[in-house]
């Protein structure tokens, strides 16, 4: 199946497939081979204007915000059903575009994305307002209303899931959307445009502009007709975009970088913990904002765990993304591969010990990097403090619970965290002290549409998932009747 048969590669604006106003195109490269698999429209600011105008019209004049929430929910439920019907197509596209092993594209990306539509369809069935008791002389009720035009900006690593975390609740609440996927991985967004149209999303309610963030991003974020920006991406770009949104006081949710600590106490079930530790840093080739790239090990286990990882990590199935057994695929771009390679080289030069991996791997011309474990690193080493975003694990020993907590909290980020221990009291005690949006105990990356995730500190603010995300696409409108009597 060729990718070009799966997507028309044009912009989706106002319910129509259109070319970029200046006719621009850009190549889409398969990370597993380094070869071009498709090309898509390269939108410019005129196309952003057209998409925002279509979304504005659909919000101000179209049926979508005026439908009952139940009617909208039915459309989202149909989108869920169509995603299930076209699951294999979505999985193949996501796998090729991002370089994901096919099993993960099927089981994680497509499943989770579809379930987000199912979940917000269910929540959308009951977007009830509230009556508030005030005084006998007045009557108040609170209407949850949509915000308007939502700009949904997503990164390269989980295009389908991270667009769904925004689009499903935004649509359920009655907003209209302009979606800008990452320029390296735009394909599933175009297939979703088709699916949402076929599910019955009216024209102009969902629009997709593909193109580089450097030219489109500022224009979209600062656009006077955008009422909310939902951004997922790096801390650097997120901070810049938040500043821009701040100038026009546009509500902004920021899901930014991560650098989670995984704390292993000596009392943990070691077999289970090792499995968790490895999957937490190799999943999606480490390009996972909630990966666990920093292992903190109680000192009595330090040498033992390094020995186990040295033997076990090279055994993780690596390579061909079409093979259902493959766990680790390539990095998503040449840029990402170069960035990870350079970071590990600098760590080595600074005296860190590479226990296994530590090099790129030639495989079919793709952007592969061997899963890597690094020991003997200082807590303030660049490879520990910065977000590496590759299959790289640093390992540091600790002596006390306090020290483990200090190391875990010792980077600018605060997205995810994990604790591996058999001591339940300790698990709860330590979890409460971790500065992170989510903490997994005796596992990793257990995610569900109903469980909110998001960051603190440099990992951003706002939550995706759960009713919390739905509320972030609504505003409370209080309507108060003066009943004319005496209080």
Give the angle subtended at the CA of 75 by the CAs of 70 and 77, to the nearest 5°.
Answer: 90
Annotation marks residue 339 as catalytic = no
Annotation marks residue 35 as catalytic = no
Under the criterion CB under 6 A, does residue 31 sit at the interface with ligand NAD? Answer: no
Under the criterion CB under 6 A, does residue 240 sit at the interface with ligand NAD? Answer: yes
162: nearest Cα among 98, 214, 243, 219: 98
Binding residue for ligand NAD, selected from 169, 233, 293, 390, defined by CB under 6 A: 233
Under the criterion CB under 6 A, does residue 250 sit at the interface with ligand NAD? Answer: no
Under the criterion CB under 6 A, does residue 214 sit at the interface with ligand NAD? Answer: yes
- In 93-243, DSSP assigns E strands to 130-132, 138-146, 149-153, 176-180, 206-208, 228-232
Under the criterion CB under 6 A, does residue 466 sit at the interface with ligand NAD? Answer: no
In the bound state with ligand NAD, the residue whose beta carbon lies nearer, of 290 and 309, is 290
Using only C-alpha atoms, what is the Rg of the chain? 23
> What would the x/- binding string for ligand NAD be over residues 426 to 465, using CB under 6 A?
-----------------------------x---xx-----
Confirm if 34 and 365 have CB atoms less than 8 A apart: yes
Confirm if 450 and 466 have CB atoms less than 8 A apart: yes
Q: For residue 196, what is the enclosing H or E element?
A: helix 187-199
Under the criterion CB under 6 A, does residue 182 sit at the interface with ligand NAD? Answer: yes
Under the criterion CB under 6 A, does residue 252 sit at the interface with ligand NAD? Answer: no
In the bound state with ligand NAD, the residue whose beta carbon lies nearer, of 189 and 199, is 189
The strand pair at 228-232 and 149-153 is best described as parallel
Instruction: Catalytic residue, from 89, 118, 255, 387: name it.
Output: 255
Q: Record the tokens describing residue 211, joined without a space.
A: 């193109």
In the bound state with ligand NAD, the residue whose beta carbon lies nearer, of 78 and 294, is 294
Rounded to whole angstroms, the Cα distance separating 62 from 208 reads: 18
Under the criterion CB under 6 A, does residue 237 sit at the interface with ligand NAD? Answer: yes
Under the criterion CB under 6 A, does residue 217 sit at the interface with ligand NAD? Answer: yes
Torsion of CA 335, 292, 255, 210, to 10 degrees: 30
Binding residue for ligand NAD, selected from 255, 273, 302, 463, defined by CB under 6 A: 255
Binding residue for ligand NAD, selected from 49, 145, 203, 218, defined by CB under 6 A: 218
Within a 10 A sphere around the Cβ of 265, how many other Cβ atoms? Answer: 22
Under the criterion CB under 6 A, does residue 190 sit at the interface with ligand NAD? Answer: no
Side-chain half-sphere CA neighbours of 328 within 13 A = 26
333 CB-near residues (< 8 Å, 6+ apart): 29, 31, 156, 184, 367
Annotation marks residue 255 as catalytic = yes
How many residues in the shown chain lie near ligand NAD by CB under 6 A?
32
Binding residue for ligand NAD, selected from 174, 258, 462, 465, defined by CB under 6 A: 258
395 CB-near residues (< 8 Å, 6+ apart): 295, 297, 302, 305, 306, 309, 355, 373, 374, 375, 377
In the bound state with ligand NAD, the residue whose beta carbon lies nearer, of 335 and 478, is 335
Whole-number Cα distances in Å, 340 to 166, 194, 273, 330, 345:
29, 35, 25, 12, 9
Shortest Å, Cβ 252 to ligand NAD? 10
Annotation marks residue 36 as catalytic = no
- Burial environment of residue 83 by CB neighbours within 10 A (0 to 12, 13 to 18, 19 or more): buried
In the bound state with ligand NAD, the residue whose beta carbon lies nearer, of 29 and 127, is 29
Binding residue for ligand NAD, selected from 155, 174, 319, 449, defined by CB under 6 A: 155
Under the criterion CB under 6 A, does residue 415 sit at the interface with ligand NAD? Answer: yes
Shortest Å, Cβ 155 to ligand NAD? 3
Residues marked as catalytic: 166, 255, 289, 464
Q: Which residues bind ligand NAD (CB under 6 A)?
A: 153-158, 162, 180, 182-183, 213-214, 217-218, 221, 232-234, 237, 240-241, 255-258, 289, 387, 389, 415, 455, 459-460
């Amino acid at each position: 199946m060729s990718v070009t048969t799966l997507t028309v590669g044009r912009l989706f604006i106002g319910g129509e497939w259109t070319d970029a106003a200046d006719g621009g195109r850009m190549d889409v490269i398969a990370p597993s081979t380094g070869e071009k698999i498709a090309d898509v429209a390269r939108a410019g600011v005129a196309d952003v204007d057209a998409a925002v105008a279509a979304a504005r019209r659909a919000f101000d004049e179209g049926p979508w915000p005026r439908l009952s929430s139940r009617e909208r929910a039915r459309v989202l439920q149909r989108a869920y059903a169509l995603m299930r019907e076209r699951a294999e197509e979505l999985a193949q596209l996501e796998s090729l575009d991002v370089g994901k092993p096919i099993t993960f594209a099927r089981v994680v990306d497509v499943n989770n994305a579809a379930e987000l539509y199912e979940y917000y369809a269910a929540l959308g069935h009951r977007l009830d307002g509230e009556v508030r008791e005030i005084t006998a002389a007045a009557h108040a009720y609170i209407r949850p209303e949509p915000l308007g035009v939502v700009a949904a900006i997503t990164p390269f690593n989980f295009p389908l899931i991270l667009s769904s975390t925004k689009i499903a609740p935004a649509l359920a609440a009655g907003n209209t959307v302009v979606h800008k996927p990452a320029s390296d991985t735009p394909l599933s967004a175009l297939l979703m445009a088709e699916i949402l149209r076929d599910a019955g999303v009216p024209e102009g309610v969902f629009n997709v502009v593909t193109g580089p963030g450097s030219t489109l991003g500022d224009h979209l974020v600062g656009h006077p007709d955008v009422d909310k920006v939902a951004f997922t991406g790096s801390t650097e770009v997120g901070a810049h975009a938040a500043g821009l949104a701040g100038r026009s006081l546009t509500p902004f949710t920021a899901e930014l970088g991560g650098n989670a600590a995984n704390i292993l106490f000596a009392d943990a079930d070691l077999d289970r913990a090792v499995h968790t530790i490895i999957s937490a840093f190799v999943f999606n080739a480490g390009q996972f904002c909630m990966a666990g790239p920093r292992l903190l090990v109680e000192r009595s286990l330090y040498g033992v765990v390094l020995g186990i990882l040295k033997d076990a990590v090279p055994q993780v199935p690596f390579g061909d993304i079409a093979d259902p057994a493959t766990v680790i695929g390539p990095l998503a771009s040449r840029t990402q591969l170069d960035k990870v390679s350079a970071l590990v080289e600098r760590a080595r030069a600074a005296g860190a010990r590479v226990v296994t991996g530590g090099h790129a791997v030639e495989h079919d011309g793709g952007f592969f990097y061997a899963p890597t474990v690094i020991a003997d690193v200082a807590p303030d080493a660049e490879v520990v403090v910065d977000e590496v975003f590759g299959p790289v694990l640093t390992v540091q020993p600790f002596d006390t619970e306090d020290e483990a907590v200090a190391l875990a909290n010792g980077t600018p980020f605060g997205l995810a965290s994990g604790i591996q221990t058999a001591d339940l009291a300790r698990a709860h005690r330590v979890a409460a002290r971790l500065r992170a949006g989510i903490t997994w105990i005796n596992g990793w990356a257990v995610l569900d549409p109903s469980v909110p995730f998001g960051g603190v500190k440099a990992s951003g603010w706002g939550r995706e998932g759960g009713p919390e995300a739905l509320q972030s696409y609504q505003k409370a409108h209080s309507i108060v009747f003066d009943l004319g009597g005496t209080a």
